[in-house]
Amino acid sequence: MMNPNRPSERVIIVGAGVGGLAAAIVLAARGLDVELFERAPTPGGKLREAAVGTARIDAGPTVFTMRWVFEELFAAAGTSLDAELALTPAQMLARHAWSQDQRLDLFADLQRSADAIGQFAGAREARGFLRFSADARNIFTTLKDSFITNSRTTPAGLMQRVGLGGLGGLINIKPYSKLWPVLGSYFKDPRLRQLFGRYATYCGSSPFLSPATLMLVAHVEQEGVWLVEGGMHQLAQTMARVASRLGVRLHYSAPVAEILIEHGRAAGIRLDSGATHQADAVVMNADTAALGAGLFGSQAARATPATPPQARSLSALTWSLVAETTDFPLVRHTVFFSRDYPAEFRDLLQRQRLPHEPTVYICAQDRSDHDTGTPPPSGPERLLCLVNAPATGDHHDFTPAEINACAERTFALLARCGLQVRQQPEWTQITSPTQFNQMFPASGGALYGRASHGWMASFSRPGARSKLPGLYLAGGTTHPGPGLPMATLSGRLAAASLLADRPSTSRSRPTATSGGTSTR
């Protein structure tokens, strides 16, 4: 039996997503004995690659933002981001199309984007964009230290930290207003409301139900987007390499069956193979829906509530393919919009079906982020094509007929906007919510945890400390939310909470992790 009062010196981490890897790096850098177990054969979690023939295609997150999060993490490990990973700043954030002759590019340079919007929709809309961007910056600045990087996530705590009278400060970050109508105060052009409303889908949510606080996503992109040499999966490989260099023992193809409980606290794990490994603390970097559903043991299920199906974020239907394209100037990130945005979300959330006409995102991974410089591929190229889907993969089997019908509508929309994609079945890998649920059990295929619907949604995500002593939570389904930098921050918060809870340090609770993440 382990001593329940023993300091947490040996830590087991479950899951090698970026949250688990970040926690491993911070804890190992502080001298703890860290062992990590991952059910997949490679690190990354949702930051995954698809193998299509001999091609490797990023099939998860495709945008690298909030560079400072990773700079601080690597500094805590005694190295630097630049020394470990090759990054190039993007000049263009994305190209957007509504039809063959309606296109708008947004750029890393704010004024250049405003000028493009002015040419596209008029001077009033350009002024609205600058007001929108200023407000998005203010929201992000207000929440960065008070909420995003903070482990205390209650409304009362946020009100106190925001200041300006608490409630007044909260009103300034627009939590009580829906994103869609607020966008109407900046943009009269419905296409621009659609474009900036799409930021809600970055956390798997609807712009018609999400708080206007999500405007901050626009500022995150405007602060900088980077291209990762070798593909996004290199980030996971690099973090795993740094963790290993610090002494973390990484085990792949090692699924965990149970969190072991002794003396009322987490005390280790049991693998599917039957082998047990004891520890003083466990960091769970898996979808919290799986934990709450009892997939890591009935005793551990009380650590966090189960996620109700109606609270799930969106899933996706993706095509990872190698194909020839013609007639449209793709850049690295291109979005093709549906003609009826409200109908698209009614299909997704009310009817819980694939949209009749979906908005389509394409990451052209052999393309530059702008028209000049690297010439377009002369033959087949690597593409990730994604549409939003309902998170019903645990009880609805997305049949080939259903997927084919959606594919026909998807590629017809692309053709209407001028893009012809010559795909071949043998060079195409399709992933539906059914497969996403198999990869991330109990989620229904939801890729972002809980949906950000309503002002309390952000407070409904579990924090770093679970209800079970000795068990800490990390990953995109926990606070502060989905996306690579947020999931990475969650790992740092989990590590900081674990370190703060060690009896040897409880009298002088640290105020920050190495790298500056506040825990106050």
Query: What is the average pLDDT score of the chain?
Result: 91
Residue 366 covered by a domain = yes
Residue labelled with tokens 């394409």: 362
How far is 68 from 287, CA to CA, in rounded Å? Answer: 25
325 and 403: one domain? yes
Q: Are residues 401 and 351 in the same domain?
A: yes
Spatial separation of the C-alpha atoms in residues 451 and 160, rounded to whole Å:
25
Q: Are residues 335 and 239 in the same domain?
A: no
pLDDT tens per residue across all 520 residues of the chain: 334 444 459 999 999 999 999 999 999 999 999 999 999 999 999 999 999 999 999 999 999 999 999 999 999 999 999 999 999 999 999 999 999 999 999 999 999 999 999 999 999 999 999 999 999 999 998 888 888 898 766 666 655 666 554 445 556 677 779 999 999 999 999 999 999 999 999 999 999 999 999 999 999 999 999 999 999 999 999 999 999 999 999 999 999 999 999 999 999 999 999 999 999 999 999 999 999 999 999 999 999 988 999 999 999 999 999 999 999 999 999 999 999 999 999 999 999 999 999 999 999 999 988 766 567 788 899 999 999 999 999 999 999 999 999 999 999 999 999 999 999 999 999 999 999 999 999 999 999 999 999 877 777 899 999 999 999 999 999 999 999 999 999 999 999 999 999 874 333 333 333 333 332 2
Same domain assignment for residues 301 and 319: no
Question: pLDDT above 70 covers what percent of the chain?
Answer: 90
Residue 67 shares a structural domain with residue 127: no
Please say which residue of 204, 223, 242 terminates a domain. 223
What's the confidence (pLDDT) of residue 369?
Answer: 81
Q: What pTM was estimated for this model as a whole?
A: 0.92
Q: Which helix (H) or strand (E) holds 220?
A: helix 216-222
Instruction: Give CA–CA dist 232/485, Å, rounded.
Output: 13
**Domain identity same for 164 and 239:** no
Kindly state whether residue 343 falls inside one of the protein's structural domains. yes
519 part of a folded domain? no
Closest residue by Cα to residue 57 from 473, 501, 385, 376: 385
Residues 427 and 318 in one domain: yes
Whether residues 327 and 383 fall in one domain: yes
CB within 8 Å of 141: residues ≥ 6 apart = none
The enclosing domain of 472 has a CATH number of 3.50.50.60
Question: Could you list the residue range(s) of the whole structural domain that residue 258 is in?
Answer: 10-50+62-86+232-308+454-508
* CA–centroid distance for 39 within its chain: 20
Q: What's the token pair of residue 208?
A: 């018609």
Same structural domain, 420 and 354? yes
In a domain, 57, yes or no: no
The reply to whether 207 and 167 lie within a common domain is yes
Point out the domain boundary residue: 223, 242, 260.
Answer: 223
Residue 515 lies in a domain: no
User: DSSP 3-state assignment of 404?
Assistant: helix
The DSSP 8-state label assigned to residue 16 in this structure reads: -
Q: Which of 223, 246, 271 is the last residue of a domain?
A: 223
Number of domains in the chain: 3
Distance CA 8, CA 465 (A): 14
In a domain, 424, yes or no: yes
Half-sphere exposure of 502 (CA within 13 A, CB side): 21
Judged by DSSP in three states, 429 sits in strand
Question: Do 331 and 398 reside in the same domain of the chain?
Answer: yes
Are 100 and 163 in contact, with CB atoms under 8 Å apart?
A: no
| 259 and 358 assigned to the same domain | no
In a domain, 274, yes or no: yes
Domain annotation covers residue 514 = no
